[in-house]
């Protein structure tokens, strides 16, 4: 019996496959060369397509890179669900949401080499694309932080400043972990035991901030 012939997927599916090839090429270049390797000639060569195809799929190289970064960024993944997620934590559970987000950031950033390189890119030069992405990240963060306002209102605890220190600390520690096989404050960040200590301390610092705020209101 003859096998049924495969149906042609059509131009729409072909275009989606080509988009995926281009996005994959961007990721591979960032892993291999860092952000300095993101040149149109390198991207189309890696994806095995021509420049016209790239423009047909994404319009510009910046749009291609932006699409890739959005797909990899930890906080931008919450862009369409931040409001919904906040509603799930409106019954005095803001501290649990904060712990979930920050511990998730730690886990994600510790293994996401592309995101590590993208952060280094942002820190090393002024780039309108990365500044725009950071602004979107800040807007998402504001949605989550507003959930804590009722907990810290009329207290002397600046939860935004504390969160900034935790977020920045996570970024720094994981970049250090990536580049150095050395201890940091006598903690081996490349060991399971060291990472568990960091996780426990993040959770502890968040819990302590909320507990201090609660005690401050009862004085």
63: Cα separation from own chain's centroid: 18
Look up the pTM and report it: 0.83
Q: In terms of domains, do 112 and 157 share one?
A: yes
**Residue 127 pLDDT level (bands cut at 50, 70, 90):** confident
Distance (Å, rounded) from C-alpha 74 to C-alpha 70?
A: 8
| Same-domain status, 35 and 108 | no
In sign, the C-alpha dihedral spanning 43, 47, 49, 55 is: negative
Residue 1 domain-assigned?
Answer: no
List, for residues 98-112, the tens digit of each pLDDT value.
999 999 999 999 998
Please compute, for residue 103, the number of CA atoms within 13 A of its CA located in the half-sphere on the CB side: 18
Helix (H, G, I), strand (E, B) or coil at 184: strand
Residues 77 and 60 in one domain: no
Which residues, other chains included, contact 39 with Cβ-Cβ below 8 Å and sequence gap of 6+?
Answer: none
Residue range(s) defining the domain that contains residue 57: 11-68
Query: What is the percent of the chain with per-residue pLDDT over 70, rounded to a whole number?
Result: 93
pLDDT of residue 57: 94
For residue 4, being part of any structural domain is answered with: no
Locate 112 and state its tokens.
């996401």
Backbone angles phi, psi at 187, to 5 degrees: -115, 130
Which are the contacts of 12, defined by CB distance < 8 A and separation ≥ 6? none
Give yes or no: residues 31 and 58 share one domain: yes
Q: What pLDDT sits at residue 9? A: 52
> pLDDT grade, residue 89 (50/70/90)?
confident
93 or 169, which is more confident? 169
Q: Please give the pLDDT value at position 3.
A: 53
Model confidence pLDDT, tens digit, residues 143-155: 999 999 999 999 9
User: Would you state the pLDDT for residue 59?
Assistant: 94
The structural domain count of the chain equals 2
- Does 129 score more than 70 pLDDT? yes
Looking at the predicted structure, is the pLDDT value of residue 92 above 90?
Answer: no
- Does the pLDDT at position 7 exceed 80? no
Contact of 49 with 93, CB cutoff 8 Å: no
Q: Are residues 64 and 77 in the same domain?
A: no
In this prediction, residue 180 carries a pLDDT of 82
In whole angstroms, give the CA distance from residue 162 to residue 208.
11
The answer, yes or no, to whether residue 199 has pLDDT greater than 90, is yes
Task: Give yes or no: residues 139 and 190 share one domain.
Answer: yes
Q: Quick check: is 177 in a domain?
A: yes
Helix axes 113-124, 128-146, angle to 10 degrees: 110
Residue 170 or residue 1, greater confidence? 170
Helix axes 94-111 and 113-124, enclosed angle (nearest 10): 90
Last residue of a domain, one of 29, 47, 68: 68
Q: What is the pLDDT at residue 37?
A: 85
Dihedral sign, Cα of residue 134, residue 136, residue 138, residue 141: negative
CB distance 22 to 58 below 8 Å? yes
* Residue range 154-187, pLDDT digits in tens: 999 999 999 999 999 999 999 999 888 889 999 9
């Amino acid at each position: 019996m003859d096998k049924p012939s495969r149906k042609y997927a059509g131009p729409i599916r072909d275009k989606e496959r080509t988009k995926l090839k281009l996005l994959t090429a961007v990721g591979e270049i960032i892993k291999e060369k860092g952000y300095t390797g993101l040149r149109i000639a390198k991207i189309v060569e890696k994806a095995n397509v021509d420049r016209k195809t790239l423009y047909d799929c994404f319009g510009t190289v910046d749009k291609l890179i932006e699409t890739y970064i959005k797909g990899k960024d930890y906080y931008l993944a919450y862009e369409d669900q931040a409001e919904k997620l906040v509603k799930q934590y409106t019954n005095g559970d803001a501290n649990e949401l904060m712990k979930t987000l920050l511990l998730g950031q730690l886990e994600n950033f510790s293994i996401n080499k592309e995101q590590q390189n993208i952060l280094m890119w942002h820190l090393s030069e002024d780039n309108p694309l990365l500044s725009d992405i950071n602004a979107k990240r800040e807007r998402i963060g504001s949605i989550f932080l507003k959930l804590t306002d009722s907990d810290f209102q009329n207290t002397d605890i600046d939860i935004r400043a504390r969160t900034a220190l935790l977020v920045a600390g996570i970024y720094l520690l994981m970049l250090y972990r990536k580049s150095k096989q050395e201890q940091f404050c006598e903690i081996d960040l490349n060991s399971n035991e060291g990472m568990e200590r960091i996780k426990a301390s993040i959770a502890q610092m968040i819990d302590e901030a909320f507990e201090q705020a609660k005690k401050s209101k009862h004085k």
